[in-house]
Amino acid sequence: MANYFSILLVVLTLATGLIWLLDSLYFAPKRRAKVAQAIGSGSSSSAIDPPAELPYLVDTAQQIFPVIAFVLVLRSFLYEPFQIPSGSMMPTLLVGDFILVEKFAYGIKDPVFRSKMIETGEPQRGDVVVFKYPEDTNIDYIKRVVGLPGDTVIYQNKQIYIKPKCQGLQQSECPKLTPVPAEFQARGEFVQDMAPLLRYTEKLGDVSHDILRHPMRDVHPSNYYTQPGTRSNEWVVPEGQYFVLGDNRDNSRDSRFWGFVPDDNLVGKAVAIWISFEFERGPDSWLPSWVPTGVRFSRVGGIH
């Protein structure tokens, strides 16, 4: 749906721009010549006005072209708004959060075919990224980057282990497989399936962020995506791809289940929450489910 909107913006921008350009180069000079001819022949002002009148289609194109062009540039190359529809990134992002995604963080792409035109950077471990879901690129997903190209990632007993890519070093000098630090913070702030979730602070590289773990739910490794040549809970990230996880670890469908995110699928980096609506209501509420019940101003700000 997002890509269809991008195509619509491009089409409208081109159409209104071409109408304006064609009128400026061809029809406007004819109108001016007709006005000059009318003045030279001594016609009354009432006879001059109709030829000078700007056609409705051209006037509309001139009015909306700058607006549409501005929206196209802003949305395609700078920042695009997204809404969080699920709890897979709790506690970092909640249902009802509206975020801004930095489109130029990982390269400038054309808005239609999404081919990269200019390299501007690569995802870092711990980044929260929006990407086209590899199994259906019409759907946008948001997760956190855990594994970079060449990394070995293991997820066992709710603990992440990472062995960074080893390049240009002797085997004995390569980094070892090490657990990602996770420190317990609280229990019960969030509840899922009648169970109080455990909140931990995890450190991925230089990025510290909070995650949630379900005290009882645990996915069996046989349900994970199996990569040839590795164990059922181990993944070696291919070049040009990334391994991503949701912060709500036991309620997220991510790379553990469907594999890796290709660089071509990246949309951008989630950098800020610009507004956050609350939708919680009692069973006797008469309001439609899409009507907010409050605004969480305290959540407005940067994403970590």
Q: Which residue has the higher pLDDT, 110 or 244?
A: 244
Show the domains of the chain with their CATH numbers: 2-77 (no CATH), 84-302 (2.10.109.10)
Question: In this model, does residue 144 exceed pLDDT 90?
Answer: yes
Question: In this model, does residue 155 exceed pLDDT 90?
Answer: yes
Mean pLDDT for the stretch of residues 28-42: 77
250: three-class secondary structure by DSSP = coil
pLDDT given for residue 48 in this prediction: 46
Q: Which residue has the higher pLDDT, 4 or 209?
A: 209
Q: pTM higher than 0.95, yes or no?
A: no
Mean pLDDT for the stretch of residues 15-34: 86
Lowest mean pLDDT among 42-56, 145-159, 207-221, 251-265: 42-56
Q: Chain-wide mean pLDDT for the chain?
A: 88
pLDDT given for residue 37 in this prediction: 77
pLDDT given for residue 229 in this prediction: 85
Active site members: 88, 143
Reported as a pLDDT band with limits 50, 70 and 90, residue 202 is: very high
Reported as a pLDDT band with limits 50, 70 and 90, residue 103 is: very high
Between β-strands 159-163 and 241-245, what pairing exists: parallel, antiparallel or unpaired? unpaired
Lowest mean pLDDT among 210-219, 243-252, 275-284: 275-284
Reported as a pLDDT band with limits 50, 70 and 90, residue 110 is: confident
pLDDT given for residue 290 in this prediction: 74
* Cα-trace Rg, the chain: 27
Long-range contacts of the stretch 220-225 (C-beta < 8 A, 24+)? 223/257, 224/155, 224/256, 224/257, 225/255, 225/256, 225/257, 225/258, 225/259
Mean pLDDT for the stretch of residues 155-183: 85
pLDDT given for residue 238 in this prediction: 96
Q: How far apart are CA 142 and CA 34, in angstroms?
A: 58
266 HSE (CA, 13 A, CB side):
32
